[in-house]
A and B are shown apart, each in its own frame.
Chain A
């Protein structure tokens, strides 16, 4: 019997993002579609940034997780349209990012507060950070640097 689609989404929600392991690939909003096509499971994955080196690892991690759950021959497809947006990050994912010390994306284009001390006195150090999806900020109150998840 084929596992239900909802159950499979639950499995995928256990697959961590390789670079930000506190959130799952589902939280990140890159798993766009899961469906059975005949006896083959078809999963559509949207890359965050076109050159993100984690993309291939993510596809492999998803495939491994599905095989571990007994899915014999999953097909992982890359779907570039519509392009990924940080609007697709789940609420759970946003909360986890904040707890982890990464300020979640905001339409305003910058973090609302320092994820460590909560101060709103923050400044941008660089538009780019340790991964393609992050920028580098600093808190002027506690003086700690922190990552901000870029809003795109």
Chain B
């Protein structure tokens, strides 16, 4: 039996922020400079906070009594619905910031559209989250520019990061049956409608950053459908979920 598309959609929103939030939190205590360490930890915190709202609503919609924590900590890789971009490893600081910008630019546009959702609960979460995401994209965009148009070494690394991560951008915009059902119900926008503005945004930032966007529309898929996550997700969950797996029901 096909899963409820609304539940699937909410898991996608919540899993994107959960997985990326956890990835970003991996920098805590090890970022290149203190200010960046704090900035990354704050970004992670916002994303995890948004996760609580999305997965909280997902649990409510599902109606089986699962909390946001249950969904985050007790599902395995194949039940996660985040896009592949968010689960990619941090790499170096530049790669982390490139991943962040590619996601943030989509996130802001998506959340902005969701503030006009026909479902008031979705619109309320989006209105809260879009303020934080707008702040994130300002920083990640500035950092991509600063490093791209920086030294030869930082430029080289940022171009390598863009080349590496570019094939993961497409999944954000290619709709499937869940996205179609959400768009039809007016709960979420048609993802293809977000692409032109995203491309404009990226073109401006990358031009200022002196970086070249790869001339390829190839898109890795399988994250948001759960069909085929990359190997990285399982390793990340092993660490993220360790406590609840080792000590089920542990609280403090």
Stretch from A6-14, A24-32, A58-66, A76-84 forming part of the interface with B = A76-84
Cβ of A152 and Cβ of B45 under 8 Å apart?
no
Query: Is B46 located at the chain interface by the 8 A CB criterion?
Result: yes
SS of A interface (majority):
loop
Instruction: Give chain B nearest CB distance to A94 CB in angstroms.
Output: 20
Cβ of B45 and Cβ of A53 under 8 Å apart?
yes
Instruction: Give chain B nearest CB distance to A129 CB in angstroms.
Output: 7
Cβ of B43 and Cβ of A128 under 8 Å apart?
yes
Q: Which A residues are CB-close (under 8 A) to B44?
A: 51
8 Å CB contact of B39 from A50, A51, A84, A128: A128
Cβ of B139 and Cβ of A127 under 8 Å apart?
yes
Q: Which B residues are CB-close (under 8 A) to A128?
A: 35, 38-39, 42-43, 139
The interface size of chain B toward A, counting residues with CB under 8 Å, comes to: 26
Question: What string of 1s and 0s marks CB contacts (under 8 Å) between A111-134 and chain B?
Answer: 000000000000001111110100
Cβ of B128 and Cβ of A81 under 8 Å apart?
yes
Q: Which B residues are CB-close (under 8 A) to A81?
A: 123-124, 127-128
Cβ of B38 and Cβ of A129 under 8 Å apart?
yes
Instruction: Give chain B nearest CB distance to A87 CB in angstroms.
Output: 12
> Known pairs A80-B124, A127-B39, A129-B38. 13 more at Cβ < 8 A?
A49-B132, A51-B45, A51-B49, A80-B128, A81-B128, A83-B127, A83-B128, A126-B36, A128-B35, A132-B42, A136-B35, A150-B135, A152-B131
